[in-house]
Amino acid sequence: METIEAPSGGNLEVRLAVSAQEVDAAQALRFRVFYTEGGATASAETAALKRDRDDFDAVCDHLLVIDHARGASPAQNIVGTYRVMRREHAEKVGRFYTAAEYDISRILAIPGPILELGRSCTDPAYRNRSTMQLLWQGIAQYVFTNGIEMMFGCASLSGTDPKALALELSYLHHFHPAPEEFRPRALPHLYTPMDLMPKDAVSPKQALNALPPLVKGYLRLGGFVGDGAVVDRQFNTTDVCVMVKTDLVTDKYFRHYDRTARG
């Protein structure tokens, strides 16, 4: 497993998981956030284990935020996580996670390295600017180190009623559509229209206030969204496919990491 330099902030550190125990603790955090807090529907096995797990976990990398002040064990100190999966990881299981909801063939046709982001969550006590900045620093260095040209993934809006999310979905559709050449489209049997309001009826300010912080973070980096939303009843969410060209992510970090690499 590749390692990344660990930018730190006080007692907080961001780095990749280096043991099965750390991955297990990340899965436990995901269970608490997605199932206990978020109301996702758990299978009998998931409920018994109290872990959010799938086949992708064994082949991808897990970015962690660790608070060393909470103790020495992963079960105590892992307070944030992001699952990151490169093309070579996806080849081991035959597909990217996003392919279950979207036709991503245009993304796969991009010749350079690509990265799927997913399973992002933080402990409720750490949902603040500093934690998110640390996660993004970790992602930026991972992208820089691995030469990633495009990152993408499913981002979730809370709830399964698209009409209740009409403002947010319409805003994303009208103001942030992905360029046609790499625009993913929700699979036909899952496709939910996003243009639920005409463009001139959408208040960008109100929409941005209503969007989840993670989605707003992608947009601040110049992110785009695909065509169509997907209602995920298991996770009690409505998903959109988000893409970010990574030159926008790494630009603010490039000089720092290049300077560090050259000593």
One digit per residue, pLDDT tens: the chain, 263 residues? Answer: 344 444 555 688 999 999 999 999 999 999 999 999 999 999 999 999 999 999 999 999 999 999 999 988 999 999 999 999 999 999 999 999 999 999 999 999 998 999 999 999 999 999 888 888 888 889 988 998 999 999 999 999 999 999 999 999 999 999 999 999 999 999 999 999 999 999 999 999 999 999 998 898 889 888 999 999 999 999 999 999 999 998 766 665 555 444 443 44
At 261, phi and psi to the nearest 5? Answer: -65, -35
How far is it, in rounded angstroms, from Cα 166 to Cα 250? 32
Task: Enter the pTM of the model.
Answer: 0.89
Task: Give the pLDDT score at 246.
Answer: 85
Query: What is the pLDDT, as a whole number, of residue 263?
Result: 40
Q: How far is CA 244 from CA 182, 185, 188, 247, 256, in A?
A: 11, 16, 24, 9, 21
What confidence score (pLDDT) does residue 262 get? Answer: 42
Q: Tell me, what's the pLDDT at 247?
A: 78
What pLDDT does 258 receive?
45
Yes or no: say if 34 and 170 are a contact pair by the CB < 8 Å rule.
Answer: no
Structural domains present in the chain: 83-262 (3.40.630)
Contacts of residue 47, defined as CB under 8 A and 6 or more positions apart, other chains included, come to: 35
CB 156 within 8 A of CB 235: yes
3 state SS for the chain: CCCCCCCEECCEEEEECCCHHHHHHHHHHHHHHHHHHCCCCCCHHHHHHCCCCCCCCCCCEEEEEEEHHHCCCHHHHEEEEEEEEEHHHHHHHCCCHHHHCEECHHHHCCCCCEEEEEEEEECHHHCCHHHHHHHHHHHHHHHHHHCCCEEEEEEEEECCCHHHHHHHHHHHHHHCECCHHHCCEECCCCCECCCCCCHHHCCHHHHHHHCCHHHHHHHHCCCEECECEEEECCCCEEEEEEEEECHHHHHHHHHHHHHHHHC
pLDDT for position 250: 60
Amino acid letter at 184?
P
